[in-house]
Amino acid sequence: MSERKSFVVTGGTRGIGKGLVAELLKRGVDVTLSGRSQAAVDAVVAELRACATQGATVTGAACDVTSPAALQHLWDTAVAAFGRVDAWVNNAGISHPRQRGGEMRAADVSAVQETNLLGALLATQIAACGMQAQPNGGTIWNMEGYGSNGMMNPGMSLYGASKFALTYFNKALQSELAASSVRICYLSPGIVLTDLLKRDVGSNTPEDLARTLRAYNILGDRVETVTPFLVEGMLAPHASGDRVAWLTGRKAAARFLMAPFKKRQVMSADDFAAG
């Protein structure tokens, strides 16, 4: 069995997930990624093979994260390819156009909660059971997002609720699995320009978009900036409950303090034109 690490990354065909896969491969880590369709998975696997070093390999499987059978297949694919799973990253998630409580569309209510919350719960269950059967256990990284810390913003209640509930779930599992070799940790990328962010921000009014862009050009970053930091953090030793966070409170405060003197142009209205 290879001594190199084996990671699973859900939602690994685009955005932050794809960036994480690329950075893991660059560091000699074997990766199994998932996406919504096998065609998308195959295309990204073929593209990212060139990133691999030290004999690392990438494979993948289509996976509906709301399906326990599909998640089990993803786990089995990783074990068949690499012998074990050292870390499982619950990255798959969706957003929605901003809508307040009385305006929420039923389709968005179902889709966001099923993917962001139910999907993460089911995936964590599959990964935790599999890791408990491994001699060295493993680490499950659950992705934080807007609302994880209870922060609120008009129109974000649906997405924020999914992330706030996941925070509770993480804390409960840390207690329940304390005596095991399975670690439940947090991955916090901050504000990153992805398709998910475009769908949210692009639904703003022109006035709200301008206001949002002012803040995001202070606090936001691009995938290629954030993912190397997150991967280096995940590859370090960790105890259950640890967090790898790019945009810390201290960093955010420093950026706001320096904003009048150091202009950052990370995003523009053009980035959200087709959001």
pLDDT band at residue 275 using 50, 70 and 90 as cut-offs: very low
pLDDT band at residue 117 using 50, 70 and 90 as cut-offs: very high
Whole-model pTM? 0.89
Q: Report pLDDT for 1.
A: 41
Q: Report pLDDT for 214.
A: 81
Tokens matching residue 266: 């990370």
192-193 and 87-90 beta bridge pairing? unpaired
Domains and CATH numbers, the chain: 6-192+221-246 (3.40.50.720)
Q: Report pLDDT for 111.
A: 81
Mean pLDDT of 111-137: 94
Name the more confident of 214 and 234. 234
Q: CA-to-CA distance for 62 and 58, rounded, in angstroms?
A: 14
Question: Is pLDDT above 70 for 19?
Answer: yes
Question: Is pLDDT above 60 for 78?
Answer: yes
Question: Is pLDDT above 50 for 105?
Answer: yes
Q: Report pLDDT for 161.
A: 84
Query: Shortest CA distance to 108 belongs to which of 203, 206, 39, 186?
Result: 203
Question: Of 34-43, 112-121, 127-136, 141-150, which gets the smallest average pLDDT?
Answer: 141-150
Mean pLDDT of 35-45: 97
Looking at every residue in the chain, the average pLDDT score rounds to: 88
Question: Is pLDDT above 70 for 58?
Answer: yes
Q: Report pLDDT for 160.
A: 82
Name the more confident of 263 and 77. 77
Q: Report pLDDT for 264.
A: 83
